[in-house]
Structure 1
Amino acid sequence: MNALLLLGALSSILILIILILYFELQSLRKKLLAKEFQIQETLQRASSTFSEAMAMREEAQRMKEDLERRVDEARRESVQKSKEVVAGKVTEQLAPFFPNFKYNPRDVRFIGTPIDLVVFNGLDSGKVESIVFMEIKTGNSRMTERERSVKEAIDASRVSFEILRIDSTLDQVE
């Protein structure tokens, strides 16, 4: 009988150990599922972050290419404008020798800024009949604000002639 009691007690202890192990196993399974869920969430966030990073990289690449294209375009425009400015300056200097220039080239004085030329009409023959202030323009170029202000002063007859006398003693210059 003692053996039976001992066997019953051992059986109860064994069942209790099995139950404890079962509940511990269930707890470990829940923890494992929770960890797997965390890992899945972390992987999804990492994947999303990676996708965003790739999209940002592609956008940065597009922006870089657009910037390079605009810089190249600006360079080409700058070179073209520079060519136009040089051509304009050459044209200003050569204008008195063009066939459609109606004044004697010897009567012309180049100033450059704020106007291009002053024509002393008749100067070469000894008698100035008129004075013409001339601005040379090429293509679609327009007068600057300064050029317009000179034209307005001339049109409003705000033009005069002055003589400035300077004492030319060399002793005063040191």
Structure 2
Amino acid sequence: MLEWVVVFLLFLIFLVWAYYRGRISEIAMRRATDLFNEWKERELEKQVEMRLKPELEKWKEIEEENIRRDAISRSISTILGKVGESLAPLLIWQEYGVNPKDMRFLGTPVDYIVFKGLSNENPEEIWFVEVKSGKSTELTTRERRIRDLVESKKVRWITLHLQSELEKLRAGL
């Protein structure tokens, strides 16, 4: 009887060993397959990179050159705009006979306000001047609105006396 128990135990041990050996083999096979697939993906990525890297580098060079050209073009436009704004008083003097001393640079929302005749102590008119140096001669929405206000004579004069205003503030406290 003891012999049968020993045989049965040996048989159980064999079954457990076979089961775990099969599981270990299955896990090892799965891991080996995963490693092979990862290696295969890396190799494929390397091949794609080797093929596409020269094209990518060429594309980068072309795009960098385009970016540089665009930056230079914008820089030139900006510089020309600044030069144009600086030359505007001379051009207005030549074209309209306004003394450059009568012009005041604002920059925004309009470039200049001209007090025609101010340098001779005889102001005759006030002009709002917007200088356009680029390809576009169109006013921005903001500039058009200001032009419309001036043309519809919605212009006002205010004299602010600081001392009186400060006294009002003090009295209110």
**TM-score bucket (shorter structure):** 0.5 to 0.7
In 2: Cα distance, 1:67 partner to 1:155 partner: 52
TM-score with structure 1 setting the length: 0.58
**Aligned length in residues:** 126
Q: Give the corresponding residue for 1:119.
A: 114
Q: Which has the higher helix share?
A: 2
> What root-mean-square deviation, in Å, do the aligned CA atoms of Structure 1 and Structure 2 show?
3.1
Structure with higher Rg: it is 1
Question: Quick one: distance in 2 between partners of 1:134 and 1:165?
Answer: 28
Unmatched runs of 5 consecutive residues or more in structure 1: 1-41
**Counterpart for residue 123 of structure 2:** 128
Identity of aligned residues (%): 31
> Which stretch of structure 1 is more off in the superposition, 117-126 or 90-99?
90-99
Q: How does 1:1-174 map to 2 (within 5 A)?
A: 50=43, 53-98=46-91, 100-102=94-96, 103-141=98-136, 142-167=138-163
CA contact (8 A) 1:95 1:101 kept: no
Paired AA for residue 149 in structure 2: A
**TM-score (normalised: structure 2):** 0.58
Return the alpha-carbon distance in structure 2 between the equivalents of residues 58 and 158 of structure 1: 68
Does structure 1 retain, via aligned residues, the 8 Å contact 2:81–2:134? no
Structure 1 ranges of 4+ moved more than 4 A: 48-53
Aligned partners of 2:61 and 2:69: how far apart in 1?
Answer: 12
Amino acid in the other structure paired with 2:157: F
Could you tell me whether the CA contact under 8 Å between 2:111 and 2:130 is conserved in 1?
Answer: yes
Measured after TM superposition, the shift of residue 92 of structure 1 is: 0.7
Unpaired stretches in structure 2, ≥5 consecutive residues: 1-35
1:78-125 per-residue CA deviation (whole Å, 9 max, x = no partner) reads 122122212211221221113743122222111111111111112122
- In the TM superposition, what is the alpha-carbon distance from 1:160 to its structure 2 partner? 1.2
Does the 8 A contact of 1:110 with 1:117 survive in 2?
Answer: yes
Q: Specify which structure has the bigger relative contact order, considering alpha-carbon pairs within 8 angstroms and separated by 6 or more residues.
A: 2
Instruction: Judge conservation of contact 2:77–2:134 (CA < 8 Å) in 1.
Output: no
